[in-house]
Amino acid sequence: MKFNLINRLTKQVTNHAGAAAYVLSPEMELYAAVVTWSLNDSFYEKNDERLTRLRQLMNQCKPEFVGKLAVYARQKMYMRSVPLVLVTELANLHSGDDLVARVTAGVVNRADEITELLACYEMMNQRTGTKKLNRLSKQLQKGLSAAFNSFDEYQFAKYNRDGAIKLKDALFLVHPKAKDTAQQELFNKIVAGTLQTPYTWETELSALGQLNYDSQEAKAAAFRNKWEELIFSGKLGYMALLRNLRNIMEAGVSYASFEQVCATLADADKVAKAKQFPFRYLAAYRELLATDNASPVKALGNKISYLLSGNKGYTGELLDALEKAVAASAVNIKGFGADTSVLLACDVSGSMQKPVSARSKVLLFDIGLMLAMLLQSRCKNVQVGMFGDTWKTITVPRSNVLANVQAFYQREGEVGYSTNGYLVINDLLRNRVQKDKVMLFTDCQLWNSNANSLANIQTLWGQYKAQVAPGAKLYLFDLAGYGQSPLRVPQKDVYLIAGWSDKVFDVLAALENGETALDVINQTEI
């Protein structure tokens, strides 16, 4: 085992850019592939190709690890779709105990994930046409049964959507045993279709859009009043608030309403409970910056566009509130003090310009910048920069994370679009600059576009360690999960961390304590 392991970890392959790279262990590759996948095509890999690779890797990993990874991805990395894929595949690969049931209960955290999981199971097992979901995995059924008993009427009603598989269908398929009389009455309501209509921003605005109005002014006033009611009701969820800032502003709500919105956004407890990807704040920030070119707002459930009066004068306060929210989200990140010199290098190459999903405006490049700026805000002695064809350090304040990301975003063309990450280490080596921590936020498809140079990051890192900074550590933040590393991992003082959530910094903290990313996953309770 020892010699086979070493051979695999030192095996050299070619990455998608055509440069030398190194194979990861099956567990590390699966971890990186899972926590960087939005179930959409990436720059170098189609969605079906990643799914095939994921299945192959699962066959090489212990079922217990796969189950813990699924729960870790859902509960720690805030992912929703990929954990369902893992559960579905695990149900096909493993039987004989209650592992699948426990994992199912761990990943189904919202009522709509019951039907989503069944739809995933149906699709991935090709149960289409006459092949109905009448032979469900027993352990999957057991886990879903437990999930049915963990939600109340509001949660069921909120997510009782008109999909291919409805809650009623799921109830008949799973046959959950009610935990008490009240739960049985709730199951009966699901069957009868008599769940109480929930009070949500979607249902409230949709109902408002169906009414007749004497004028556009009356309609605008009605929507303005409804937004103010939603804001003060406490029933407008944090994510819904974050995604509707532009709509709220354009509705022309009162200043008191704006104050409440800003207070909610910046509330540290609410930020912690919301569990938002860091780039969600960036997306909201950019939406507000784009309000000068705003188009008319569309009422939900109504085809007619209407122009609201708006109040753009409060935009600055919303931007400040978003900065406070991001600062609150970073408060538990363990940065480094004045005695630790840190260098953060962001990959802005062409392959990093890919949206994270088909419906998102956020690029992989944005995620790298966002994570780097979050960490920068927690470090005392830190430099940041970006690399493409060239490498450049850029000075920005430690505060105002979102504004810093925008500052980098506006300058990314200054270094070109290759992936010459070796230049980061080459610069340190040539100028004999001592750094304790060097961190690259990248898709790990590094190469050397200079035809007159054979330099590579693996060799340069060894030289830097030997000649300049023997105690230096290199961290690769893998944002794409393609399965290769530009350096041997693991090796002493070279580490790989993957994912888009701020929880990647929990892995960083574990590394500082002598653990690995896999240790963090294996500590997950299921």
Please give the pLDDT value at position 12.
Answer: 75
Q: Is residue 314 part of a domain?
A: yes
Residue 379 and residue 456 share a domain = yes
Please give the pLDDT value at position 357.
Answer: 82
DSSP string of 228-251, one letter each residue: HHHHHHS-S-HHHHHHTHHHHHHT
Q: What range does the domain containing 142 cover?
A: 62-192
Of 276 and 305, more confident: 276
CATH number of 453's domain: 3.40.50.410
Q: 458 pLDDT exceeds 70? A: yes
Please give the pLDDT value at position 132.
Answer: 62
> Which residue do the tokens 């509960």 mark?
75
Q: Is residue 19 part of a domain?
A: no
Q: Is residue 90 part of a domain?
A: yes
In terms of DSSP bridges, do strands 305-306 and 297-298 run parallel, antiparallel, or are they unpaired? antiparallel
Order of strands across the sheet that contains 12-14: 12-14, 20-23, 484-485
Output the CA–CA distances (angstroms, integers) from residue 2 to 62, 177, 331, 348, in the order listed: 18, 49, 41, 38
Contacts (Cβ under 8 Å, ≥6 apart) of 469: 428, 434, 435, 436
Please give the pLDDT value at position 6.
Answer: 39
Residue 412 and residue 300 share a domain = no
Q: Is residue 31 part of a domain?
A: no
Range in 77-81, 357-361, 392-396, 470-474 the model is least confident about: 357-361
Task: Kindly state the average pLDDT of the residues 449-467.
Answer: 91
Task: Kindly state the average pLDDT of the residues 342-370.
Answer: 92
**Which amino acid is it at 479?**
L
Q: Is residue 214 part of a domain?
A: yes
Residue 274 and residue 354 share a domain = no
Q: Is residue 49 part of a domain?
A: no
Grouping H, G, I as helix, E, B as strand and the rest as coil, residue 278 is helix
Final residue of a structural domain among 299, 329, 359: 329
Residue 283's closest CA among 385, 369, 199, 360?
Answer: 360
What would the pLDDT profile of 499-520 be if each residue is shown by its tens digit?
999 999 999 999 999 999 999 9
Q: 198 pLDDT exceeds 50? A: yes
Residue 347 and residue 490 share a domain = yes
Residue 223 and residue 184 share a domain = no
Q: Which two tokens stand for residue 191?
A: 């069957």
> Which residue do the tokens 């592992």 mark?
99
Q: 294 pLDDT exceeds 60? A: no
Q: 479 pLDDT exceeds 90? A: yes
Q: Is residue 28 part of a domain?
A: no
* CA dist., res. 474 & res. 422, Å (int): 12
Residue 245 and residue 298 share a domain = yes
Adjacent-strand bridge partners of 383? 343
Please give the pLDDT value at position 454.
Answer: 84
> Which residue do the tokens 């999957």 mark?
140
Task: Kindly state the average pLDDT of the residues 481-501.
Answer: 91
Range in 82-86, 230-234, 311-315 the model is least confident about: 311-315
Q: Is residue 43 part of a domain?
A: no
- Of the chain, the percentage scoring pLDDT greater than 70 comes to 92
Q: 300 pLDDT exceeds 50? A: no
Residue 357 and residue 465 share a domain = yes
What would the pLDDT profile of 248-273 be if each residue is shown by its tens digit?
988 999 999 999 999 999 999 999 99
Residue 205 and residue 188 share a domain = no
Please give the pLDDT value at position 520.
Answer: 95
DSSP string of 461-521, one letter each residue: HHHHHHHT-TT-EEEEEESS--SEESS-SSBTTEEEEE-SSTTHHHHHHHHHTT--HHHHH
Residue 258 and residue 348 share a domain = no
Please give the pLDDT value at position 4.
Answer: 35
For residue 303, name the pLDDT band (cuts at 50, 70, 90): very low
Please give the pLDDT value at position 126.
Answer: 78
| Phi, psi for residue 442 in degrees, rounded to 5 | -155, 170
> Domain count of the chain?
3
Of 19 and 191, more confident: 191
Q: Containing H/E element for 345? A: strand 341-347
Please give the pLDDT value at position 137.
Answer: 86
- Of the chain, the percentage scoring pLDDT greater than 90 comes to 75
Final residue of a structural domain among 276, 308, 329: 329
Residue 377 and residue 291 share a domain = no
Helices (H), 175-233: 181-192, 201-209, 216-233
Residue 351 and residue 287 share a domain = no
Residue 415 and residue 377 share a domain = yes
Q: Containing H/E element for 347? A: strand 341-347
Q: 14 pLDDT exceeds 90? A: no
Final residue of a structural domain among 162, 192, 222: 192
